[in-house]
Amino acid sequence: MSADRLARQILWSRLIAVVEEQAKTLMKTAFSATVREAGDLSAAVFDRHGRMLAQARTGTPGHVNCTAIAARHFLNAFPAAGMAEGDHYLTNDPWLASGHLHDITVFSPVFRRGVLIGFFACTCHQVDIGGLGMGPDARSVHEEGLYIPIMPLARGGVVDAHLMRLIRANVRTPDEIEGDILSYVTANEFSAARLNAMLDEFALAHIEALADDIVSTSEAGTRAAIAALPHGRWRNHMRIDGYDAPVDLVATLVIDETGLLVDLEGTSPASPRGINLVLNYTQAYVGYGVRAAIAPEIPNNHGSLLPVRVVAPPGCILNVQRPAPVAARHIIGQFLPELVLGCFAELLPDLIPAEGAAANWGLQLRGRGERGPFNILFFNAGGSGARPSRDGLSATAFPSGIRSIPVEICEAVAPIVIHRKELRPDSGGAGRWRGGLGQTVEVGTRDGAGFELFAVFDRVDYPARGRAGGEPGAPGLVALDTGESLRPKGLQAIPAGRRVRVDLPGGGGFGPPEGRPADRQAQDVAQGYVTGGLS
């Protein structure tokens, strides 16, 4: 390695450390448990042209890759020439940022000796943003909460007090929202200071050369990975539950001399309910699926995302137009990497796993306890699909990447009791390699009072499919503790004295069950699986 390349590698490692600190700062200063405990966020650094250079590891592809797209929208609305030190900008516009009103993106310029050298941005989930709440019930985005266009949050280090009053007046938990937004400003400002300290240490005036190297190297690596694949067309179709009718997701993967394209023609039309996706959120998750298949080792940034083209017909459920409802867009979006991986299954049979639970089952509960109103969201993961050479992972989210909030934290921040949270035996699909297990979660209020459930769950009607002869995983279930079924989507009142029980879906199996290794069968029985993973 040349001295120049070695220096670039050191600078790259330091840049990663800066964005990791940005994410840690968010998690240490945020008020909401979804950011503080689950890491439901993105943190990233950009060059002065708005190209994403590096991201923190925590968060979701929907957050990170949408933040990368959002940068150009911020710069279109507020050109860099008009920015000054201490400025910060924000939005939650679904069509410009991360797909629904419940995510706020803060975009902050970085100056060095009076010259703009780049930007830091973060996107974080807000449990409450007013409106109906984070469910699919609305029929328009205007019913779903407070809609903030791209606008200044702070000028010259002074937060816009009028904007903050407006936000506080439109949400149910104003202190938490204001505290969160100020934590995003803090993280971006802290990271700007860290970046300047890094440049001082290496006696650099800017990051231009480093940025060009990161982008060009990542783009070249991704294009080389695409060039190593055969030319052709591969198609995959997946049917999922939808709101009141099944949703068909269709993808055609095209690889030719021009590169790689994923065409989503044939996908179901937009829904009248809030399970729709805007195009940038679709591009974020489809792009992630492609890169997971062909170039997982290449850093995620502007360069590595550039060679992957994604198109979806306007008006389909993956490319809705304003003012369509979009609050629960993740319940469809998190299936897109699985959809894309299915296109690669014939092309890369030794790498592509069976289908998994995919969409995270977030339990959002709202009610009133002894200390006043509460609104809590905590995440739960089903099983991932079995892999070509090993079992799937149990209670492990793919592709979201967010963490489960510990039971103790949930019960400390809201008047609830989580009575059960345990793996669900035999929920993984049988196969030579077994699908990962889902889990069972049962929750109620501490005093037995009634509460509201925002149900946003899928794979109740259509479970994860096995691959190469593997069996499907178990479907999910949403019910009261009495066994009475609840709807898997939509706001529902839970009567006093009752609990909600959810059985999360398992992952699909890989390969014929009769081919399962004998040592694995014995291990299955020893771990208490009723069928030993064979049927």
Question: Which of residues 171, 193, 218 is at a domain's end?
Answer: 218
Q: How far apart are CA 148 and CA 126, in angstroms?
A: 13
Domain count, the chain: 2
Q: For residue 423, what pLDDT is reported?
A: 95
Rounded CA-CA distance 53/392 in Å is 32
Cα–Cα distance, 363 to 307 (Å, whole number): 37
State the average pLDDT for the chain: 94
Is residue 401 one of the residues assigned to a domain? yes
pLDDT above 70: residue 486:
yes
The type of residue at 453 is L
Lowest pLDDT segment from 69-73, 183-187, 314-318, 514-518: 514-518
3: Cβ contacts below 8 Å, ≥ 6 apart: none
Report how far residue 293's alpha carbon sits from residue 517's, in angstroms, rounded to the nearest whole number. 27
In a domain, 489, yes or no: yes
- Show the tokens assigned to 302: 């502007």
| Residue listed under structure tokens 């390699």 | 433
Work out the pLDDT band at 369, boundaries 50, 70, 90. confident
> In the prediction, which pLDDT does 407 show?
95
> What ranges in 375-477 are assigned the alpha helix state H?
407-413
Task: Quote the pLDDT of residue 5.
Answer: 83
> Is residue 27 in some structural domain?
yes
CA–CA dist 511, 516 (Å, integer): 8
Joined tokens for residue 154: 């702070």
Q: Is 533 a residue whose pLDDT tops 80?
A: no
What is the model's pLDDT at position 404? 87
Split at pLDDT 50, 70, 90, the class of 400 is confident
Backbone angles phi, psi at 26, to 5 degrees: -60, -45
Instruction: Quote the tokens at residue 161.
Output: 């007090």
Q: Which residues are 422's β-sheet partners?
A: 440
Question: For residue 281, is it within any domain?
Answer: no
pTM score, whole prediction: 0.94
Instruction: Give the pair of three-digit tokens for residue 297.
Output: 């080792």
SS3 36: helix
In a domain, 262, yes or no: no
Q: Which residue has the tokens 């023609």?
A: 265
Report residue 317 as tokens. 């459920």
pLDDT of residue 527: 63
Q: Which amino acid is at 278?
A: V
Q: What percent of the chain has pLDDT over 90?
A: 88
* Bridge-based pairing state of the strands 259-263 and 308-311: parallel
Predicted confidence at residue 133, as pLDDT, reads: 86
Least confident window among 32-36, 168-172, 317-321, 445-449: 32-36
The bridge status of strand 259-263 relative to strand 489-494 is: unpaired
Average pLDDT (104-130) is 96
90 Cα distance to chain centroid: 19
C-alpha neighbours within 13 Å on the C-beta side of residue 238: 30
Residue finishing a domain among 179, 196, 218: 218
Residue pair 122/26 in contact by the 8 Å Cβ criterion: yes
Confidence label for 4 from pLDDT (cuts 50, 70 and 90): confident
CA–CA distance, 375 with 371 (Å, rounded to integer): 12
In a domain, 272, yes or no: no
Angle, alpha carbons 499-505-509 (nearest 5°): 160
Cβ(531)–Cβ(408) under 8 Å? no
33 within domain boundaries = yes
Q: Which two tokens stand for residue 287?
A: 């792009």
Q: Is 404 helix (H, G, I), strand (E, B) or coil?
A: coil
How confident is residue 457, by pLDDT bands cut at 50, 70 and 90? very high
Q: Which of 198, 218, 238 is the last residue of a domain?
A: 218
How far apart (Å, rounded) are the C-alpha atoms in residues 192 and 314? 38
Distance CA(159)–CA(162), nearest Å, equals: 9
Both tokens of 386, joined, read 């079995």
Binning pLDDT at 50, 70 and 90, where does residue 528 land?
A: low
Structural domain boundaries, residue 60? 3-218
| Stretch 339-362: mean pLDDT | 95
Q: Which of 19-33, 224-238, 390-404 has the lowest mean pLDDT?
A: 390-404
Q: What is the CATH number of the domain that holds 107?
A: 3.30.450
Please give the span between the terminal C-alpha atoms of the chain, in angstroms, as a whole number: 53
285-311 mean pLDDT: 95
**Spatial separation of the C-alpha atoms in residues 55 and 44, rounded to whole Å:** 4
Over residues 181-201, the mean pLDDT reads 97
The DSSP letter of residue 504 is: P
- pLDDT for 3 equals 63
For residue 439, is it within any domain? Answer: yes
Instruction: Return the pLDDT at 100.
Output: 96
pLDDT bucket at 2, cuts 50 / 70 / 90:
low
